[in-house]
Chain A
């Protein structure tokens, strides 16, 4: 009797082991699957074997390391995808910005050799229009990238919210099933897979509670998942810059707390925010600075000269005025409108923040370095860095305004002159007076763009973008290498090896046959007993 039951216990155990092994084999390439191992232990004395547990081969420590490496890698990878677009945009070609600038100045040089030649004048207008259209293309491409980043932030935040709500639900199911005895391995696998996917989007901290539920929180401690509840992130226009989407946290009471970009560090969301605040806005501003400098310099020279019709020169180019946004948290009703002054040599590629305090009045700081900028406030007009801001209304203590001088300049750069005769090539009414045109030609090598020449300005932009792209690629390669190593480490414990499972199948099959033999022997013994007359 006992022989048979011992044998049967062995068969049951073998079946569970074979099931486990088959499950491992079939899930060898499933994402997030953790291999399971059946553990045999001796049943209470004399009763054969029992499978005490089917253990999930999971290492919390390695998994946490791997998730944080995935976050870092994802941030870099997202950054790289975006930066590579700008990299390609600035690739050298016959239509690159520096080539078109050179053609423009070359056409002006032709003009200086005969200022009365209407064909040469028309060529200058043509070259100017080609240059403007390239500025526009670059500017609007970057603008479109900015919109695209906003859209991606929106969609990633909704993915994050989706994942956190699924994790919360699984938390509930897992703590329920563990209180009923024995958590289901596939629920645990699902939850870990979701955490891994969440780590790709944003860097999170995970801690396991005693009842088996995960608490997932952001870097600053705000919880995204606690027990069965998930807390959403929301997106909306940023308080300081309505053209950008900012992320906020919705707490249990329904209040939105704005999250600074540095809180959302890591993951593709972090990568996007980092990209937007660094390379994207720097590139837009630098191109805009070139456009504004070129426009102002040419317009000043036009005003000093006389065109072919004998009239004083009119503006050659135009760019949009600087953009000023009042912070949505401002309590005063002041609005600022900005224009460029005639001398824009103090203009930089940085944005500026104007703040008002009741003790010090208006003060200005640069957004890139945080350094304060000297500004003069006279009769309702605040002047600094080549701009004049007219204040209307009254500001209250603590109000702040964001000034973006050159953000939209490249996209809005346009040629106002449509007729070569309007080019003020001379300073007298002589038709071949080229003295003003010679000054225009000299702008090519004058330091008009924030202390550098136009060409140097473009070269430094190229260098910045190129070195950023190279640096990110190198960092990504390193981080990917690390992720690969951690994955291998994690897989060495949790991954399925098909050869191992094949070996197990053979072993358990034999084991099953052996135990079946025991049952057969037991039955034979019983038969022998029953045959005794």
Chain B
């Protein structure tokens, strides 16, 4: 076919320009290391890369959440450890206080030690994290968990919520526990508690122990009220029912619970038995009660009975409190180990996402450099061809 001179020039020129532009693209790919930067480089890869980056970012967010939870749970764990130790010391002092040979002064010094433990527990209950937020106040993290009211009682000021965070795509986890669940609760295996009223007799008790879980009314508490019958004998009524005669050493079985009574109650004395959870559990109140009881001088048999009953009740309450703290510690431990597992999974996911992303958008250096060198050669060839073809003209020879 006949070619015009303009055609020859344009074809060679455009060929050379095309090679140059391809060469430039290859050079850019080698220098940036990225195959896909604009969507048009590979639209499918670019859009998948958006989704992979999103997954990677979400994965990182969960990792951050886990790191933060890990920190707060670790701090909580060590605080709970100290609380547990304090309760253990309190329990051993309470047991010591039960020794009949102690004098008022001895009990006074036990009370002083217990006061120290009480103050330590208050400080631990009001622990703060590195930001100054209270650990055990639920959502009210700027308010101390426990504070004394006007009557000198320690009151919980937090709420019943727990801050939770999203630790994986499907799971959220509580990053702590609130003061109510640690200090004002008992675990599900806590059993029953008997508490003597403000008695003037010498009634003491043993128990209550669980006798028959299938009995009717099992689980509900009851109150024994003692009175003197017309004939001077002692009797008691259960929750206002008809009075039953009382004898020293009686073993009562009510609502599936067995209770051993000793001593001589006075008219109007009471004994209340309730499930531990219904008895307003409060570690601090229990310690307060114990301290007050130890500071009260024992002058007569009824004082002795009162002290013995108080020690009986408080011992049980402190044991329940310790069990509760241990239960919370177990749950904290379980959460920490779950976080570790999720961390391992999260790390694997991050690696696989990063690899996938790299496969989508990064340049394969071997391929890119080979292309670059090949194009360089073809561009040089195009340039040389252009120069030599343009030189050929019949006008050179006439």
Contacts and interface: CB of A to CB of B under 8 A. Distances in A.
Say if A and B assemble together: yes
Interface of A: 28-29, 35, 83-84, 87-88, 90-92, 98-99, 102, 105-106, 109-110, 112-117, 426, 428, 430-434, 438, 441-442, 444-445, 453, 455-456, 458-460, 462-467, 469-470, 473, 484, 487-489, 491-499, 502-503, 505-506
Centre residue among A434, A462, A469 by max chain B CB count within 10 A: A462
A65 to B, nearest CB: 16
Q: Which 4 A-B pairs have the closest CB atoms?
A: A495-B4, A430-B139, A466-B43, A466-B39
B3 A497 contact: yes
A464 B161 CA distance: 46
B38 A88 contact: yes
A433 B43 contact: no
Contacts of A493: 2
Contacts of A113: 64-65, 68-69, 165, 175
A459 B166 contact: no
B6 A28 contact: yes
B47 A433 contact: no
Interface in B347-365: 361
Nearest to B51: A459
Contacts of B3: 488, 491-492, 495, 497
A437 to B, nearest CB: 10
B376 interface: no
Interface string B377-398: 0000000000000000111001
Interface in B56-91: 57-58, 60-61, 64-65, 68-69
A92 B11 CA distance: 36
B40 A497 contact: no
B163 A434 contact: yes
Nearest to A106: B61
Contacts of B159: 428, 430
Given A109-B166, A496-B6, A459 B393 contact: no
Contacts of B40: 83-84, 87, 465-466, 469-470, 473
B370 interface: no
B182 to A, nearest CB: 17
A114 B131 contact: yes
Contacts of A438: 164-166, 172
Given A458-B50, A497-B3, A497-B4, A87 B38 contact: yes
Best-surrounded residue of B2, B61, B393 (most CB of chain A within 10 A): B61
B47 A116 contact: no
What is the interface of chain A mostly: helix, strand, loop, or mixed?
Answer: helix
Nearest to B63: A109
Given A28-B6, A92-B36, A469-B43, 16 more contacts: A28-B5, A92-B37, A113-B69, A114-B68, A426-B139, A432-B140, A438-B172, A444-B54, A453-B54, A458-B50, A460-B47, A462-B46, A469-B38, A497-B2, A497-B4, A502-B394
Contacts of A489: 1
23 contacts: A35-B4, A98-B53, A98-B54, A106-B61, A112-B65, A113-B68, A113-B165, A113-B175, A117-B131, A432-B141, A432-B142, A434-B165, A462-B39, A464-B43, A466-B40, A466-B41, A467-B43, A487-B7, A488-B7, A492-B7, A496-B4, A498-B5, A499-B5
Contacts of B60: 106
Contacts of B61: 105-106, 109, 441
B139 A432 contact: yes
Contact of A431 (B10, B11, B44, B140): B140
B138 interface: yes
A277 to B, nearest CB: 20
B338 interface: no
A14 to B, nearest CB: 17
A269 to B, nearest CB: 24
Interface of B: 1-7, 9-11, 14, 36-44, 46-51, 53-54, 57-58, 60-61, 64-65, 68-69, 131, 133, 138-142, 159, 161, 163-166, 169, 172, 175, 361, 393-395, 398
A466 B6 contact: no
Contacts of A497: 2-5
B9 to A, nearest CB: 8
A98 B3 CA distance: 53
Contacts, number: 192
A467 B47 CA distance: 10
Contacts of A467: 39, 43-44
A109 B64 contact: yes
A127 B40 CA distance: 29
Given A106-B57, A116-B142, A445-B169, A492 B2 contact: yes
Contact of B48 (A35, A88, A459): A459
B394 A503 contact: yes
A153 B37 CA distance: 31
A491 B4 contact: yes
A487 B50 CA distance: 43
Given A113-B175, A430-B139, A430-B140, A462 B43 contact: yes
Nearest to A505: B398
Contacts of A458: 50
A442 B164 CA distance: 14
A430 B39 contact: no
A444 B58 contact: yes
Nearest to A453: B54
Contacts of A29: 5-6, 9
B4 to A, nearest CB: 2
B139 A431 contact: yes
B131 to A, nearest CB: 6
Contacts of A470: 40, 43
Nearest to B176: A432
Given A92-B361, A114-B131, A438-B165, A463 B5 contact: no
A99 B9 CA distance: 48
Nearest to B36: A92
Nearest to B7: A491
A78 B43 CA distance: 20
B363 to A, nearest CB: 14
B332 to A, nearest CB: 17
B47 A492 contact: no
A92 B64 contact: no
B17 to A, nearest CB: 12
Given A463-B39, A491-B6, A499 B47 contact: no
Given A444-B58, A462-B46, A492 B395 contact: no
B57 A492 contact: no
Contact of B50 (A98, A432, A496): A98
